[in-house]
Each structure stands twice: as structure tokens, then as C-alpha cells.
Amino acid sequence: MIRLFVPNDLSAGVGVVPTVDQSRYLTSVMRLGVGAELLLFNGRDGEWRATIVEATKRGCLLKAEEQTRPMEAGPDLDLIVAMVKRGRVETIVEKAAELGARRVRLTITRRTNVDFVKLGRLDAIAMEAAEQTGRLDVPRVADPEKLDKILDDWDPARRLVFCDEGGDAKPVIEAVAGTSAPAAILIGPEGGFTPEERERLRGLSFVTPVSLGPRILRADTAAISAMTLWQAAVGDWR
């Protein structure tokens, strides 16, 4: 069944007006008409079965009928990734949503060579991935911040899993065993972290350095691998 994210509050009998693009998708692409059913979620009220009660050239009107799933959230996991080329950062956001990240934070390191990203485009990718994967919330994509600023403001209660390409860290599953959310995974830029950045990260009490194996991975591959292993070891895949 089709799922749509909407910002509206959801309860029995509430009317919901989807966006123009969503209305066009329902009526022109999926060929749905009055009486057709779909699922709605907003990140707060769980998932609701809804019915199309009006369908015109100008748009649709939906009516929430009954809750199909109560609100629940996965582990409190952030993905922090150095900005990379557009195609790869879009893949990272999509897969982060599919793999259960609560938030994606873009960071600027000393070797980051990309300084522009369309956040609106990334938000849309995260929303579409959430709709397709059945999760009940949409991960937030935060504005880019310098790595030093992120570390300066860090809450020590959140474990930072530092994917260190230096080669002397423990494998992910072994390193994170016994830890839990809230947590964050840090992925560096294509050129890797500088020695100064690695030294600072390894000196912080809330940081757990981990290895993703003997090969150097691209940022998107590293992000997917790290999140998969974390979810399998201490996340909601157990």
C-alpha cells in the first residue's frame, strides 16, 4: 500500500491535504481515485490508514480513518559524514534513512573539498526513503558544520563511533559490543582525516575508534557498512 509522509496531525476523521506533487503522484502516476486507501505518517502519531475523499485536477483531499501502527522510534543513532560529491551524499542520505539513522549531520573537515549541498533535495530523498521502508519518522538532515565545532559541542552521553582508516582500531562489531544508543557514527572525507584530527578524536573519552576492514572504502560504502554492522551488533536488528 502507498505510504505518504505528511506534516499534519493525524487522528480519526481528520482531513489531510497533500502537496501538489503528492496529489499528482496519487492521481496521475498511481491512478488512484475516490475511495482508494493509503497509509499516512508524520513522525509523531504513528501510521494511519486514510481514504481519498476528493480527487480533482487541483489536488486531493484525504481522510484519516484509523491508526494501523502506534508511534515507535528506532535506536537514537546519528550519522555524521564529511561532505562529498553530490551523487554520493545523496546515496548516503538515502541509505541512512533505510538503515534507521535518526539524523544525518554533514561535516566539514580539513580535507573536505565540497562546500555546497542542496539540503532541500536531501530532505526529499530522506522522506522518500522513509515512505518506502516503512519507518514512522523521517531522519533530519542538518546544516553542514565544521568537525571541530561538532566536537566542541558534543554531549558525552552519546558514544561517537569513529571510523578510523588508520588500521589499528578494533573491528566494528568487537569495538561497539556492550555499548548502546544514543550513538553516532563518524565517516571522514575521501582524503581521510588529517593526523591532527585523528589525534584529537582518539583523545576524547566519548570516542570509540573502529575499523571497517583492510581496504580503503569510499564514503558512501563506509557509511552503509558501518551502519549495518552497528545495527547488527547493538541496534534494532538483534
Q: What is the pLDDT of residue 125?
A: 97
Query: Among residues 189, 217, 184, which one has the least CA distance to residue 110?
Result: 189
Tell me: the pLDDT tens digits for 61-83?
Answer: 999 999 999 999 889 999 999 99
Contacts of 207 (CB under 8 A, 6+ apart): 160, 162, 201
Q: Is 50 exposed, middle or buried (0-12, 13-18, 19+ CB in 10 A)?
A: buried
Confidence of residue 85 (pLDDT cuts 50, 70, 90): confident
Query: Among residues 204, 206, 202, which one has the least CA distance to residue 166?
Result: 202
**Is the pLDDT assigned to residue 114 strictly greater than 80?**
no
Tell me: the pLDDT tens digits for 39-50?
Answer: 999 999 999 999
Q: Over the chain, what is the mean pLDDT? A: 94
**Is the pLDDT assigned to residue 86 strictly greater than 90?**
no
Q: What is the pLDDT of residue 58?
A: 87
For the chain, the farthest-separated pair of C-alpha atoms sits apart, in whole angstroms, at 62
Identify the CATH number of the domain defined by range 77-234: 3.40.1280.10
Q: What is the pLDDT of residue 33?
A: 94
Identify which has the larger pLDDT, 112 or 63. 63
Confidence of residue 191 (pLDDT cuts 50, 70, 90): confident
Strands 207-211 and 159-163: parallel
Strands 59-69 and 47-56: antiparallel
Domain segments of the chain as ranges: 3-69, 77-234
Q: What is the pLDDT of residue 180?
A: 87
Cα 51 → chain centroid:
28
Tell me: the pLDDT tens digits for 130-166?
Answer: 999 999 999 999 999 999 999 999 999 999 999 998 7
Give the fold, CATH level 3, of 3-69.
Ribosomal Protein L25; Chain P (2.40.240)
**Is the pLDDT assigned to residue 51 strictly greater than 70?**
yes
**Is the pLDDT assigned to residue 167 strictly greater than 70?**
no
Mean pLDDT of 3-25: 96
Q: What is the pLDDT of residue 25?
A: 95
Q: What is the pLDDT of residue 115?
A: 63
